[in-house]
Amino acid sequence: MYITNLVKCRPPQNRTPRPDEIAACRPYLTEQMEGIAPDILVCLGRSASQTLLGEERGMREMRGCVHKRGKLDVVAIYHPSFLLRSPDKKSEAWHDLVTLAELAAGKGIGRPVPKPWWLP
């Protein structure tokens, strides 16, 4: 599993990276991914998900499933800062993290998440 930033430095005022900033950092990201060769790629938020999945859809459409890119499994999840601003999305994020944990467990990385006691 591999988690990294799309760009290698924070844009001013923590704004969304511009396409030219993403393009400037893309070779570094590609080299890192080739060197690490992860089985699972986790995209945190819309910018990373759209860029790495080659999608223009929003997070609502990209999250909630496992995307296949060759041998690589890609999971798009909400960015933690979005969840701080939108606490009503935390249950969706929980389901995404369970999906990620089950995917990892299926690859021999970690264990499946036990069913919470409060769910039927």
Q: Which residue has the tokens 């998440």?
A: 113
Whole-angstrom distance, CA of residue 96 vs CA of residue 16: 22
- Render pLDDT for 9-61 as a digit per residue (tens, 0 to 9): 888 988 889 999 999 999 999 999 899 999 899 999 999 999 999 989 999 99
**92 is written with which tokens?**
């969706």
- Render pLDDT for 62-115 as a digit per residue (tens, 0 to 9): 999 999 988 899 999 999 989 999 999 999 999 999 899 999 999 888 877 777
Confidence of residue 2 (pLDDT cuts 50, 70, 90): low
How do the domains of the chain map onto residue ranges? 12-106
Q: How far is CA 60 from CA 29, 48, 99, 111, in A?
A: 25, 14, 15, 27
pTM attached to this predicted model: 0.83
Whole-angstrom distance, CA of residue 13 vs CA of residue 38: 31
The CATH class, in words, for 12-106 is alpha beta
